[in-house]
Amino acid sequence: MNDQCISQKLKELLPEHPPKRYEPVGVCIYCGRTTNLSDEHVIPLGLGGRMVLPKSSCSFCSKKTSSFEMTCMRTMYGPLRQLYALPSRRKKKQPKKLPLKVKYKPQDDWTGVFVDQVDYPFLVTFPYFPMPNLITDEQTTDRRGAATNRLWIRGASAYEGFFDHLQRLTSKLKVHSIMPESKTHMEEFCQMLAKVGHAYAVAELGYGKFKPLLLRHIVDKELSNCADFIGSLDRDEVPSKDIHELSIYEDKKRNYIIVRMRFLAILGTPTYHVVVGEKLKTKSI
**CA–CA dist 262, 268 (Å, integer):** 9
For residue 9, name the pLDDT band (cuts at 50, 70, 90).
very low
- Those residues with Cβ within 8 angstroms of residue 8's Cβ, 6 or more apart along the chain or in another chain: 85
Task: Give the chain's end-to-end CA distance (angstroms, integer).
Answer: 70
For residue 260, name the pLDDT band (cuts at 50, 70, 90).
very high
Ramachandran angles phi, psi of 20, nearest 5°? -155, 130
The pLDDT assigned to 39 comes to 97
Over residues 20-37, the mean pLDDT reads 97
Ramachandran angles phi, psi of 126, nearest 5°? -135, 135
**CA–CA dist 217, 48 (Å, integer):** 24
Q: What ranges do the domains of the chain cover?
A: 3-279
CA 225, 184, 186: angle at the middle one, nearest 5? 10
For residue 83, name the pLDDT band (cuts at 50, 70, 90).
confident
Enter the pTM of the model.
0.88
Query: Are residues 229 and 259 in contact, defined by beta-carbon separation less than 8 angstroms?
Result: no
Chain mean pLDDT for the chain: 88
The pLDDT assigned to 283 comes to 61
Over residues 129-146, the mean pLDDT reads 87
The pLDDT assigned to 89 comes to 66
The pLDDT assigned to 8 comes to 46
Query: Are residues 228 and 248 in contact, defined by beta-carbon separation less than 8 angstroms?
Result: no
For residue 284, name the pLDDT band (cuts at 50, 70, 90).
low
Long-range contacts of 106-113 (CB under 8 A, 24+ apart): 106/176, 106/177, 108/176, 110/179, 113/173, 113/175
The conformational region for residue 259 under phi > 0 = left, psi -120 to 50 = alpha, else beta, is: beta
For residue 232, pLDDT over 60 is answered with: yes
Q: What percent of the chain has pLDDT over 90?
A: 64
- Those residues with Cβ within 8 angstroms of residue 161's Cβ, 6 or more apart along the chain or in another chain: none
What is the sign, positive or negative, of the torsion defined by CA atoms of 21, 23, 29, 34?
A: positive
CA 267, 65, 202: angle at the middle one, nearest 5? 80
SS3 of 55, please?
strand
Q: What percent of the chain has pLDDT over 70?
A: 90
Query: Are residues 187 and 221 in contact, defined by beta-carbon separation less than 8 angstroms?
Result: yes
Over residues 141-148, the mean pLDDT reads 84
- Those residues with Cβ within 8 angstroms of residue 95's Cβ, 6 or more apart along the chain or in another chain: 117
The pLDDT assigned to 85 comes to 72
For residue 163, pLDDT over 80 is answered with: yes
Over residues 107-128, the mean pLDDT reads 89
The pLDDT assigned to 244 comes to 93
**CA–CA dist 121, 115 (Å, integer):** 10
DSSP letter for 31, please.
T
43-47, 56-60, 99-103, 135-139, range with the lowest pLDDT? 135-139
